[in-house]
Amino acid sequence: MPLDKNERDPYVGLQIEDDYVIKEKVNKGKIGVVYKAERSNPKDVLACKIIPEGKLKTGWQAELNKILRLRGISHVVPYHTHGSKHDHNSRQFTYILFDYIPGNNLKDFIKDSPALLNIAFIEKIAKTVLTVLYACQ
């Protein structure tokens, strides 16, 4: 459900990890929302995945361990850190910081540019997925 124009986003403006401030919503998934988190000195931008209280599944940190083991594998977005805080409404949430990669996600890219979905593109995606799956072994 979209926010009412007068309703304040409970995360925008919050400060997290080393002076990073949550600036704007980037995308929404099944259990969380991704925001841009910016630091002014030195200037930096990270992606901040926010999972509200009650949305985390048991064993969620095992997923972070998998990402850490894949560090350095091409096309796996690097993880920085995670923690928990309270939003503007005093509700607890968990955040995970990753490198910020500007642009559309794959689902939106295909929806917005169906003409680019050709055999070469599909082959590149398949090779990337297989490389990451092999690294998971």
Residues 16-35 have pLDDT tens digits of: 987 999 999 999 888 899 99
Q: Residue 67: CB partners within 8 Å, gap ≥ 6?
A: 76, 79
Which residues pair with residue 28 across a beta bridge? Answer: 33
User: Measured between alpha carbons, how far is 19 from 37 in angstroms, rounded to an integer?
Assistant: 9
Provide long-range contacts, Cβ within 8 A and 24+ apart, for 17-21: 17/80, 17/81, 17/83, 17/97, 20/44, 20/46, 20/48, 20/97
pLDDT in tens, 63-110: 888 888 888 888 888 999 999 999 999 999 999 999 999 888 888 888
Q: What angle do CA 3, 85, 65 make, to 5 degrees?
A: 105
